[in-house]
Amino acid sequence: MWSPSGRRLRNRVGAQRNGNAGISELVMAPPRTRALLLLLLLTLLGLGLVQPADGQDRMYQRFLRQHVDPEGKGGNDTYCNVMMQRRKMTTRQCKRFNTFVHEDIWNIRSICSTTNIQCKNGKMNCHEGVVKVTDCRETGSSRAPNCRYRASASTRHVVIACEGDPELPVHFDR
């Protein structure tokens, strides 16, 4: 029989007989089976893509959240007030001081390949570079979560701590 359903049946039987269930069998499967197979595929992909983060990766992600804004121009109080809140640094208490770096992450990561210098904590895993920044300083008269900041934009030397292999920025030292 040459009806579409007859072809499907023959394709399935042929694939099973040959031992290689292929795309045609998947495409011809009932909708519920396709949905279950898609769910299984997405679950397996999710498990492969979402790996448990180690300490260095968490610190790198935190560094990105707190300090990196390549698209931002910064420079004014409104920028600081919005970004500090958006980046969740005003939830429990007002973070007194923070610096946003307005450079591509690859430029920031390249600082990690410069000569090691001593960090404020005495470790020798800091590196120095020159970048565009906005420094946000809390005014002192505000309370979380409505913290208020004064902005100062400049291009200046910064010191960041790097860890891992490859080395990644994990802490803004100064």
Distance (Å, rounded) from C-alpha 157 to C-alpha 174?
A: 9
Identify the active-site residue in 102, 127, 157, 171. 171
The model carries a pTM of 0.67
Q: What is the dihedral angle through the alpha carbons of 161, 164, 167, 169, rounded to the nearest 10 degrees?
A: -40
pLDDT at 140: 81
Catalytic-residue membership of 127: no
pLDDT in tens, the chain (174 residues): 444 444 444 444 444 444 545 544 544 667 776 666 555 545 544 444 333 346 789 999 999 999 999 998 888 999 999 999 999 999 999 999 999 999 999 999 999 999 999 999 999 999 999 999 999 999 988 888 899 999 999 999 999 999 998 899 999 998
| Residue 171 annotated as catalytic | yes
In this prediction, residue 56 carries a pLDDT of 80
Judged by DSSP in three states, 138 sits in strand
The residue from 67, 102, 127, 157 that is catalytic is: 67
| Domains of the chain and any CATH numbers | 4-49 (no CATH), 55-172 (3.10.130.10)
